[in-house]
Each structure stands twice: as C-alpha cells, then as structure tokens.
Amino acid sequence: MGGGNYSVVHEIVLVGLTSSLEMQLVLFLVFSVFYVAGILGNFLIVLTVISDSHLHSPMYFLLANLSFIDMWVSSITVPKMIYDLFKERKVISFQGCITQMFFIHVIGGTEMVLLVVMALDRYVAICRPLHYLTIMNFRTCTFLLVAAWTIGITHSLIQLVFVVNLPFCGSSEVDSFYCDLPRFIRLACTVIYRLELIVTANSGFISLGTFFILIISYIFILVTVWQHSSGGLSKALSTLSAHMTVVVLYFGPCIFVYSWPFLTVPVDKFLAIFDVIITPFLNPAIYTFRNKEMKVAMRRIFKQSCLMDLS
Ligand SMILES: *[C@@H]1O[C@H](CO)[C@@H](O)[C@H](O)[C@H]1NC(C)=O
C-alpha cells in the first residue's frame, strides 16, 4: 500500500437502526420473536423431512435445504443486532465485518439459485409430469444443490477479493446494523467508482437475473396449467402467488440495494430487515406449512414422540 497516510482500521462502528429507547424495546421484542420463530419453524422442517421417509423426494429435499439456508440467513446478522440494540457503541472487528459480508453473500447467492432450482423442480413436475422422476432424480437434485453452493461461494469470493486490501483513512462508521458491501466500500479512501461497478455487476446481476428467471418460470407454469385445465389454474395461482410474495419480499430489497449501490439512501437499512428477518420467517410458512403432506408428516412425528414418552 506504499505506506502513505493510510491508517489501519481495527473495528467498524455500526450506527444501528434507532437511538430512541422505546423503539429499541419494540425492535428487541419484534426481532427476538421473529428470529426464534423462524429458527424453530425451519428446524422443524429439516427435522421432519430428514426423519420421514415419505418425504424423501426432490421437492422436500429442496424445501429442507431452503430451510437450512434460512436458518443461516438470519443467524449471520440478527443475534449480533439484538445483542447490540441497547449498547451505546455498536462495534464489530474489521475481520468480523469481512466475515459477515462473506457469509451474507455466500448464503444470499446460494438461496437465490436454490429458489430457481425449486421453481425448476415445480416446472418439471407440473409441465413434464411423466418425465418428472427421470429428470429430477436424486443425482440431479444433489448436482443442482452443489451448483447452487458453488455459485454462492464464487459470487461472494469474487467481490471480497476486491475489498480486503482497500486502503482506509480512519473513518469507520457504517450506517447500518450489519456490515454490507455498498456501505463498507465507502469507508475506503480511494476512488470507489470501479468497485461500485463490480458490486453492481456481481450482486446486482445475480439478484436481478435470478429474479427474472423466477418470474418467467412462474409465468410458464401458469400458462401451461391454464392450457391443460382451467380448474387447476386457481390452485396453481394460489400456490404461485404465495411463492411470488416471498420472492418479491426477498428480492425487492436486494435489487434495490445492489442494483443502485451508487445511491445509498437511509431506507436501505430498513429494507434489509425484510431479508434478514421477515423472509426466513415467512419461507417455512409459505412453502411448507401450507403443504398437506408436510402437515401430515409433522403430525406423525409428534405422535411418535408422544408414544415414546409414554412407553
Ligand atoms: C438437501 O438435499 C439433499 C438431497 O439432494 C439431502 O440429502 C439433504 O438431506 C438435504 N439437506 C437438508 C439440510 O435437508
């Protein structure tokens, strides 16, 4: 770095969401409840799918994998945020900040690709029902999952390579409740225009790209169902509209934050709440608890564990 006036930044100060005590109390309650409920709901789903052999099919494996990822989505940011809420000075170490950004993007990228894989699975099931079992077999499913994680990790590494060696000049305040890339790179004392372009090209591309693939596959499914039976359309519509709600809630903030990183507005950090708390909580409710087989399987598990207690 040439030993100029660059200072070493050891810790990052997070501004947080609010400084009003009443609001902090409200946020503490709301975040804790949503976080715990989300973790429990997702954990229950993973447990049910793994332990019930009736659910050993690609669709449920993918659902369980989504739940597994959702547990991480909120765990990367929310516990620290809750812990920090009442602290006057919210700090995170420089390494902690880099680690947080790395995992946010690994998990975020993987989740986006996984949602596309799940849409693909539904597309094959609905539009190619006779070939479903040959196309979506266990091997394809595992391959797609490995691909999702590979894309997520690559996506995150590519961005961080440009960030870890940035020169800093002392300012270390991030106006958010966690370390995120668009705000973090503003701390650097260098021309960040190209960096912002890289973030947009990478994170913006992956969020916009997967979002459009999802919307197009939903439209495809709806049109196919509509052509084959008008009766099935309303059922497909009700399922897909639930999926679309999650997708819009999840992708909306991401697209807003990463596709226009040049413009960092205060509303960004409030939008991020949707991604780290609301969607990981809603996903199990929308993808799984509306599903009949899943409900039956859960009841079976509860019954079994009750019987074990009695004997
Ligand atoms: C993810 O899916 C694979 C099947 O490809 C399955 O073996 C695995 O148990 C799933 N993981 C979780 C956490 O459910």
DSSP result, 1-48 = -TTSS-B---EEEE--S---HHHHHHHHHHHHHHHHHHHHHHHHHHHH
Q: Bigger pLDDT: 72 or 88?
A: 72
Question: Which has the minimum average pLDDT: 45-49, 175-179, 306-310?
Answer: 306-310
Query: CA neighbours within 13 Å on the CB side: how many for 149?
Result: 10
Probe residue for ligand 1, chosen from 43, 56, 61, 141 as the CB with the greatest number of ligand atoms within 8 Å: 61
Nearest CA to ligand 1 atom 11: 65
Task: Quote the pLDDT of residue 18.
Answer: 75
Whether residue 124 has pLDDT greater than 80:
yes
CB distance 79 to 35 below 8 Å: yes
Task: Quote the pLDDT of residue 6.
Answer: 61
- Residue 174 sits at φ, ψ, to 5 deg, of -110, 125
Ligand 1 centre distance from Cα of residue 211 (Å)? 24
Whether residue 306 has pLDDT greater than 60:
yes
Find out whether the beta carbon of 49 lies less than 6 Å from any atom of ligand 1. Answer: yes
Whether residue 207 has pLDDT greater than 70:
yes
Task: Quote the pLDDT of residue 155.
Answer: 93
CA-CA distance, 98 to 79, in Å (whole number)?
A: 17
Task: Quote the pLDDT of residue 286.
Answer: 81
Q: How much of the chain, in percent, has pLDDT values that exceed 70?
A: 93
